[in-house]
Amino acid sequence: MNKIKGVIFDLDGVIVDTAKFHFLAWKKLANDLGFDFTELQNEELKGVSRVRSLEKILEWGNTSLSKDEFAQKMAVKNDNYLSYLTNMNSADILPGVSKVINFLMEEKVPFALGSASKNARPILEKTDLINKFHAIVDGNDVSKAKPDPEVFIIAAEKIGVAQENCLVFEDSVAGVQAANIAGMISVGIGEKEVLHEADYVFSSFEEIEIDFLKKLVTT
Ligand code: B16
Ligand code: MG
């Protein structure tokens, strides 16, 4: 296995538990339109752009919207999503994440954000993480959504590490696939059954031993 010289973190569902807020906001939108979708279907929305998420939801509900209605629904969903983040602060960083970030800083391993979200920067600001990342690549910087590897390829370039020497932390199927396509080591955060395409899966960062990371960055 290639030595790991750089790390890329997904945001929603990896650093902070915002995946549940995306779900609640999309669910409300669907319910307002008169239908519902399941948590299993929601797995298909994780890591997926805002536009593509709404397209998928409308397909599930067999519903179509005019261009203006589509834009308006996306804006309402985002306002609703942001309302859940009002009081977010560093206490909302998921358990175990800071331990990994501190380890990478001690070992001088550069790390980047690779998120599909256009809300990534305000979230990193609220959680006091924005100055720790060596590079931030988010939904404002990419034209192709995960599983296209664009977001991770740009992140690797920005931290100056070859793709094959990068490790990606991801909670979504699309994100794990994107990391794999980029030739990076994929570490899934979530359920093994869902993220079975990942090289490694942990249920949370709390489960990740520093020794595991030490081996990857030194061998
Ligand atoms: P926004 P990630 C993704 O973030 C989320 O997983 C996905 O549910 C969301 O639709 C997407 O960002 C776009 O987010 O509406 O905030 O721009 O997991 O790639 O960090
Ligand atoms: Mg995610």
Contact call for residues 37 and 30 (beta carbons, < 8 A): yes
Contact call for residues 179 and 170 (beta carbons, < 8 A): yes
Q: Is the pLDDT of residue 30 over 80?
A: yes
My answer on whether 11 and 36 are in the same domain is no
Nearest bound ligand to CA 145?
A: 1
Q: Is residue 214 part of a domain?
A: yes
Confidence of residue 1 (pLDDT cuts 50, 70, 90): confident
My answer on whether 67 and 115 are in the same domain is no
Q: Is residue 119 part of a domain?
A: yes
Which among 69, 85, 101 is the end of a domain?
85
CATH classification at residue 109: 3.40.50.1000
Residue 10 CB less than 6 A away from ligand 1? yes
Contact call for residues 45 and 152 (beta carbons, < 8 A): no
My answer on whether 213 and 138 are in the same domain is yes
Which among 46, 70, 85 is the end of a domain?
85
My answer on whether 202 and 141 are in the same domain is yes
My answer on whether 105 and 149 are in the same domain is yes
Q: What residues have their beta carbon closer than 5 A to ion ligand 2?
A: 10, 12-13, 47, 171-172
Token pair, residue 62, equals 């067999």
Q: What is the 3-state secondary structure (H, E, C) of 61-115?
A: CCCCCCHHHHHHHHHHHHHHHHHCCCCCCHHHECCCHHHHHHHHHHCCCCEEEEC
Q: Is residue 1 part of a domain?
A: no
The boundaries of the domain holding residue 65 are: 19-85
CATH classification at residue 32: 1.10.150.240
pLDDT of 41-54, one tens digit each?
Answer: 999 999 899 999 99
Which residue's CA is the closest to the ligand 1 atom numbered 16? 117
Which among 85, 111, 143 is the end of a domain?
85
Confidence of residue 218 (pLDDT cuts 50, 70, 90): confident
**Rounded Cα gap, residues 98 and 134, in angstroms:** 15
Residue 49 CB less than 6 A away from ligand 1? yes
Contact call for residues 112 and 133 (beta carbons, < 8 A): yes
Q: Is the pLDDT of residue 96 over 90?
A: yes
Q: What's the chain's average pLDDT?
A: 96
My answer on whether 99 and 171 are in the same domain is yes
pLDDT of 108-167, one tens digit each?
Answer: 999 999 999 999 999 999 999 999 999 999 999 999 989 999 999 999 999 999 999 999
What pLDDT is recorded for position 2? Answer: 86
In the chain, the N- to C-terminal Cα span, in Å, equals 8
Token pair, residue 167, equals 């490790």
My answer on whether 148 and 67 are in the same domain is no
User: Concatenated DSSP letters for 33-48?
Assistant: TT----HHHHHTTTT-
Q: Is the pLDDT of residue 219 over 80?
A: no
17 is catalytic: no
12 is catalytic: yes
What residues contact 144, with CB distance under 8 A and at least 6 apart?
Answer: 150
My answer on whether 136 and 123 are in the same domain is yes
My answer on whether 75 and 95 are in the same domain is no
My answer on whether 97 and 198 are in the same domain is yes
Q: Tell me the pTM.
A: 0.94
My answer on whether 33 and 141 are in the same domain is no
Q: 168 pairs with which residues across the strands?
A: 8, 186
Phi and psi at 169, nearest 5°, equal -95, 125
Q: 201 pairs with which residues across the strands?
A: 188
My answer on whether 148 and 58 are in the same domain is no
Domain count, the chain: 2
Of ligand 1's listed atoms, the one at least distance from the Cα of 77 is 15
